[in-house]
A and B are shown apart, each in its own frame.
Chain A
Amino acid sequence: MSILVIAEHDGGALKPATLNAVTAAKEIAGHSDGELHMLVAGEGVDAAAEAAAKVEGVTKVLKADDGAYAHLLAENVAPLLVKLAESYDYLVAPSGTFSKNVMPRVGALLDLQPLTDVVAVESADSFVRPIYAGNALATVKMGDARKLITVRATAFDAAAPEGGSAAIEAVESTGDSGKSSYVGSELTQSERPELTSARVVISGGRGMQNGENFAMLEKIADKLGAAVGASRAAVDAGYVPNDYQVGQTGKVVAPELYIAVGISGAIQHLAGMKDSKVIVAINKDEEAPIFQVADYGLVADLFQAVPELEQELDKAL
């Protein structure tokens, strides 16, 4: 039995979720005992491949370095995965827009039914995943011999990024499909940690009233080393970019501390953060559903409470 983990990376470094996917792969391997390899595909990925080789538990790194993979277009990456899949029993990737874009395409080409958003490994062929925005958990048995799986990073611990010394092997490019091309991107630049791997997340909702007011949350975030998120309402209102969105259709987070500010707590939002260890809610509406899941609820006007929180943190930290 052998497993190929598909790395998410930015060329230079592995994205943190990759390490969580390695842990999920190890759990699967624990039920089936075998080799654990990692694929790093992209253009100019030497540093990321070297980082992959150091991850504890990874026994070999496959490096697919080619212009055709520069922007990880699904039509180009899927044939690579199809080719590599021949040698593996499992393909495992962290759930994210990259794997969600590519993995089903690979599945269809191989006549396999992938499983998305796995949160627990029950056995070599049975896995738990949330359905209905996390309002139910389904235990699913996969009938296909070869298994394609994306895993929710927040449900698995991160594997140690150091300790391994895997060999790096270059794999040949499967070329450019010519079906699509990259035009450009607008990526949010931030010195703060990534939402999905941050230890602390502070999110704002419609109660923030505008984008400028998010500066208040950023100040708190910088004190706590937190990432800044938002509810769908705040994103739809144009306060912050789409990649801030925490929720069923945005990002799923499970930090040690989640601070929800001016967020009412729609089911959609709760689906994205209810597995956080400690939840704080600040909202002036005492009846807001967010309070039902909050460990510490503060009924207050956020425009008074947030500046006060900043001062109290200065005293406490």
Chain B
Amino acid sequence: MKVLVAIKRVIDAYVKVRVKSDGSGVETQNVKMSMNPFCEIAVEEAVRMKEAGIASEVVVVSCGQQNSQETIRTALAMGADRGILVQSDAELQPLAIAKLLKGVVEKEQPELVLMGKQAVDNDFNQTGQMLSALLDWSQATFASKIEKSDGKLTVTREIDGGLETIEVALPAVVTADLRLNEPRYASLPNIMKAKKKPIDTMSAEDLGVDPSPRLSVVKVSEPPARQGGAKVGSVAELVEKLKNEAKVI
């Protein structure tokens, strides 16, 4: 089974983002960028499938600027076989990315597309579901366990009330939740090896997709700051204040 993994380059999840003073967005200059954490989990799952003999080839794809190549290299160092960069300097929203990925899927003909459930920059949580719809494939979102059997996958999903297990016919799009696996760190030899792995580049035009944004950001602002930091000296004082000052119990 050929597996395509879609990944995104984002501001590192541990960086405290700063809103630009003109309200046009968040500061991205001189900020550490990394692979979106959920995408790392998707890559890890695909590599484990290859190691288990379930996946025959793992291809990673990223849509974005030239520097998304670095993110693709990270995935190659984790064990993916080759990469594809769909290069675009435009702002890419989930629908546009889903259309670009559909074009890549039609070229590559994978049986399974794995991706993160959401990117930690825009927090949309949409692209996988959209890709599945555009391809008329089955979907399994928020996966915490994936098992393959004949022509189908059994997927455990993290849902609001607990866990749900579904079976999806292949081909399918599956999006990874936090507890699917713990991504590995790439070893130095594998980082070196990844430098020799091929990365193809294509454009939105090559794929016949109009990636124009449908949403326009009017402004980006800081959330209201919380005035915290007060301490109490004892449990008795805490209960007294909750009762008489905050009046919440």
Q: How far is the CA of A112 from the CA of B163 in the complex (A)?
A: 30
Instruction: Give the contacting residue for A132; candidates B123, B226, B239; CB below 8 A.
Output: B123
The answer on a CB contact under 8 Å between B123 and A309 is no
State the majority secondary structure of interface residues on A: mixed
Q: How far is the CB of B117 from chain A (nearest CB, A)?
A: 8
The answer on a CB contact under 8 Å between A280 and B123 is no
The answer on a CB contact under 8 Å between A293 and B226 is yes
Chain B CB count within 10 A is highest, among A74, A180, A268, A297, for A180
The answer on a CB contact under 8 Å between B154 and A183 is yes
With known contacts A179-B137, A312-B236, A294–B230 Cβ distance under 8 A: yes
Chain B CB count within 10 A is highest, among A101, A102, A277, A291, for A101
The answer on a CB contact under 8 Å between A111 and B95 is yes
Chain B residues with CB below 8 A from A133, complex form: 120, 123
With known contacts A185-B163, A294-B228, A232–B223 Cβ distance under 8 A: no
Q: How far is the CA of A60 from the CA of B228 in the complex (A)?
A: 45
Interface assignment of B98: CB less than 8 Å from any CB of chain A? yes
A92-108, CB < 8 A from B: 96-98, 100-108
The answer on a CB contact under 8 Å between A104 and B130 is yes
The answer on a CB contact under 8 Å between B133 and A108 is yes
The answer on a CB contact under 8 Å between B123 and A117 is yes
Interface assignment of B132: CB less than 8 Å from any CB of chain A? yes
Instruction: Give the contacting residue for A298; candidates B17, B26, B238; CB below 8 A.
Output: B238
Chain A residues with CB below 8 A from B13, complex form: 268
Instruction: Give the contacting residue for A130; candidates B95, B223, B227; CB below 8 A.
Output: B223
Q: How far is the CB of A202 from chain B (nearest CB, A)?
A: 12
Chain A residues with CB below 8 A from B127, complex form: 104
Q: How far is the CB of B70 from chain A (nearest CB, A)?
A: 20
The answer on a CB contact under 8 Å between B249 and A180 is no
Interface assignment of A215: CB less than 8 Å from any CB of chain B? no
Q: How far is the CA of A185 from the CA of B16 in the complex (A)?
A: 37
The answer on a CB contact under 8 Å between A257 and B16 is no
The answer on a CB contact under 8 Å between B249 and A313 is yes
Chain A residues with CB below 8 A from B19, complex form: 136
B34-90, CB < 8 A from A: none
Interface assignment of B202: CB less than 8 Å from any CB of chain A? no
The answer on a CB contact under 8 Å between A101 and B141 is yes
Interface assignment of B193: CB less than 8 Å from any CB of chain A? no
The answer on a CB contact under 8 Å between B166 and A143 is no
The answer on a CB contact under 8 Å between B220 and A243 is no
**Complex interface bits, B1-29 against A, C-beta within 8 A gives 1, otherwise 0:** 00000000001011011010000001000
A140-167, CB < 8 A from B: 140-144
Chain A residues with CB below 8 A from B117, complex form: 249
The answer on a CB contact under 8 Å between B179 and A138 is no
The answer on a CB contact under 8 Å between A126 and B166 is no
With known contacts A180-B140, A292-B229, A296-B241, A96–B160 Cβ distance under 8 A: yes
Instruction: Give the contacting residue for B132; candidates A105, A137, A196, A232; CB below 8 A.
Output: A105
Interface assignment of A213: CB less than 8 Å from any CB of chain B? no
Q: How far is the CA of A141 from the CA of B26 in the complex (A)?
A: 18
Instruction: List residues of chain A with CB under 8 Å of any chain B CB.
Output: 71, 73-75, 78, 96-98, 100-109, 111-117, 126, 130-144, 177-188, 196, 200, 224, 232, 235-236, 241-243, 248-249, 251, 256-257, 267-268, 274, 277-280, 291-300, 305, 308-309, 312-313, 315-317
> Can you identify 6 A-B contacts, CB atoms within 8 angstroms?
A102-B129, A113-B95, A139-B217, A140-B217, A243-B159, A291-B231
**Known contacts A101-B142, A132-B26, A297-B232; 20 further A-B pairs (Cβ under 8 A):** A71-B166, A74-B132, A101-B139, A104-B128, A108-B133, A113-B94, A130-B123, A131-B220, A137-B221, A139-B218, A183-B165, A184-B164, A232-B178, A235-B179, A249-B117, A268-B13, A274-B223, A278-B242, A279-B228, A300-B235
